[in-house]
Amino acid sequence: MDSDFFIVNGTLVTESSLVPNASLHIKYGKVEKISGSQANLGRDAVKVDVDGAYVSPGFIDLHVHGTGGYDSTDATRVGLSGLREALLPYGVTTVVPTLLSSPANLTHTFLNAVRSEASVNERGAKVAGAHLEGPFLNASERGVHLEENLRAPSVEVFNEFADGYRGLIKIMTLAPELDGALAVIRECKSAGIVASIGHTNATYAEARAGIEAGISHSAHTFNAMSRLQARDPGTVGAVLSSDTVYAEVIADGIHVHPSNVNLLIKLKGTARTILVTDAVKPAGTKAKEFEMGGIEAAVRDGALLTPEGTLCGSILTMDRAIRNVHSWTNLSIPEVIRMASLNPARQIGIAKTTGSLVEGKDADIVILDKQLNVKATYVRGIQRFGEANRENQTK
């Protein structure tokens, strides 16, 4: 593919609307210009005609452990490189690989691999940084996190995990009710790390104290957190009533009922809801049994379950999440796609370069058919997935 070309005859998905018959000039990996006409492209211009398909910003997954048989918990560059490529057919152009609660030495190995992959421009989705899910979690809501890997929160232990990786760690999920957690939340905030509430049994008051200390994110909202009750709104109530907290949701129809997804979006708005997959390595494969970080699980009726019946991540892909939410709600296509692109970009501070199709930003683009299936994926203007568009290239 040329480094200077045009995507033409597309329906552009902007932050708030659909623009038919749009033309995007892609030059050296950036969106050079957006226009509504092909009249001035020039006879020798290289054009990719998408025949009316949606031209969408690339998707950003802030919470994903694996896909396509690859697993971030093995903490190797091979696993992360494979994950980056495995996400392309689902429209993901930026990923934040996520690690379960792990010992400090394995966490450092993982972070070093993330740092190395973040510097590589070839192959798959861009790596924006790391998400540490733990180790400061409440054992009563630990899900599949191994109890021996949980730690009591303190600034000293936080530094044991984070020293040398500030700027690389984008999100840390923790339980604010644990002794010492509020100090860690404040440390996250000062280090530019998004403090995320999750795997928590916090009361409403404890969750609110965490938010006041600096929590601005909710991990897989409704799952692994104290429920909404009449006399204690719990973590769910604190998240839903906050004007500052972004809320992740796993929209697979298994982790959260579609009506609760609808409720979440109505209360948080499309500007503070973020679609994530929380996918693990069987996603995108036909595998029925797997092991991840010492945890064994199996796929049963679309759910990933341990032998004890605990949910163990998902086999959701981002394009499927978008199709699900679009079918469950009365939201427009731009509103749904915003929750998988601009919102996560803003949350981790990368919206100046990606998350929407704006002149000057990276040309991270997904071509979607009218049923919102991925036809092609471009990362920094290079087509990394999809063959159909190559047949439509003309000069």
Catalytic positions, please? 278
Measure the CA–CA gap between 272 and 266, rounded to whole angstroms: 10
Count CB neighbours of 198 within 10 A: 29
Count CB neighbours of 47 within 10 A: 18
Asked if 332 and 25 touch (Cβ cutoff 8 Å), the reply is no
> For residue 213, what are the contacts with CB-CB under 8 A and spacing of at least 6?
176, 182, 185, 186, 189, 195
Burial 154-186 (b: 16+ CB within 10 A, else e): beebbeebbeebeebbbbbbbbbbbebbbebbe
Count CB neighbours of 365 within 10 A: 26
Question: What is the Cα 257 distance to its own chain's centre?
Answer: 20
- Tally DSSP H helices, then E strands, for the chain: 10, 23
Count CB neighbours of 32 within 10 A: 16
How, if at all, do strands 4-13 and 47-49 pair?
parallel
